Amino acid sequence: MGRALRADAERSVRAILEAAEKVLAEDPGAPMEQIAEAAGLARTTVHRRFANRQALIDALAAAAKQQLTAAIDDAHLETAPPHVALHRTTANTLRVKDAWRFTLGNPLAGNDIAQDVWSEINTRSLAFLARAQREGLLAPDADLEWTRRVYYALVTEALQGPGAAEDPDTQNADALATRIVDTLLHGAGRRP
């Protein structure tokens, strides 16, 4: 009997988080009642799971960043050929960031869990870029911290920059990942 309640509680939390992401992406100031309605739950259920708005935002941040970490894990940064890993992690990241636009773009979601996850992602990114450099994908003299920052900026701009919503490639994570990786590796200059 307790197991059914636990599974039911997990479904409620998942429904609340999904509804909160959608509602807050449309209206960042939306009240908890609106989130409850979108989740198809009573307001008291939402308040029982999340004591206040900040607790809900913290839970959103933890869930989104855990999903982002899993997407990066799926790219096999340590073992896949560097070009393949770079493309795959880019496409995976685009999918997660697109699904979690409010949470991953929300400065209020900077709790300790989120800080730890970002720190881990930054460390893993630099380790991957060092491997890519050793294996010849990146220039031997490339500044890896700068490369990481430029890569992050390309991903963010691709999803959120002016005209991104109208760009057909924004709807296709693999096509957009190809553009990002190509820009990172080759820039906009003429090719020999």
Is the predicted pLDDT of residue 2 greater than 50, yes or no?
no
Pair 67, 100: CB distance under 8 Å:
yes
The predicted model scores a pTM of 0.81
Pair 147, 184: CB distance under 8 Å:
yes
Query: Hey, what are 58's tokens?
Result: 């913290």
Pair 146, 94: CB distance under 8 Å:
no
Q: How far apart are the C-alpha atoms of 155 and 158, rounded to whole Å?
A: 5
Give the rounded percent of residues in the chain with a pLDDT score beyond 90.
Answer: 54
Of 1.20.1440, 1.10.357, 1.10.10, 1.10.3210, the CATH number of 1-50 is 1.10.10
The pLDDT tens digits for 7-21 are 777 888 999 999 999
The per-residue pLDDT of the chain, averaged, comes to 87
Q: Please state the domain extents for the chain.
A: 1-50, 58-186
The pLDDT tens digits for 53-86 are 889 988 898 888 889 889 999 999 999 999 999 9
Q: Taking the CB of residue 92, how many other CB atoms lie within 10 A of it?
A: 20
Is residue 181 classed as helix, strand or coil in its secondary structure?
helix
Q: Provide the pLDDT confidence category of residue 94 given band limits of 50, 70 and 90.
A: very high
Give the rounded percent of residues in the chain with a pLDDT score beyond 70.
Answer: 88
Name the architecture of domain 58-186.
Orthogonal Bundle (1.10)
CB within 8 Å of 187: residues ≥ 6 apart = none
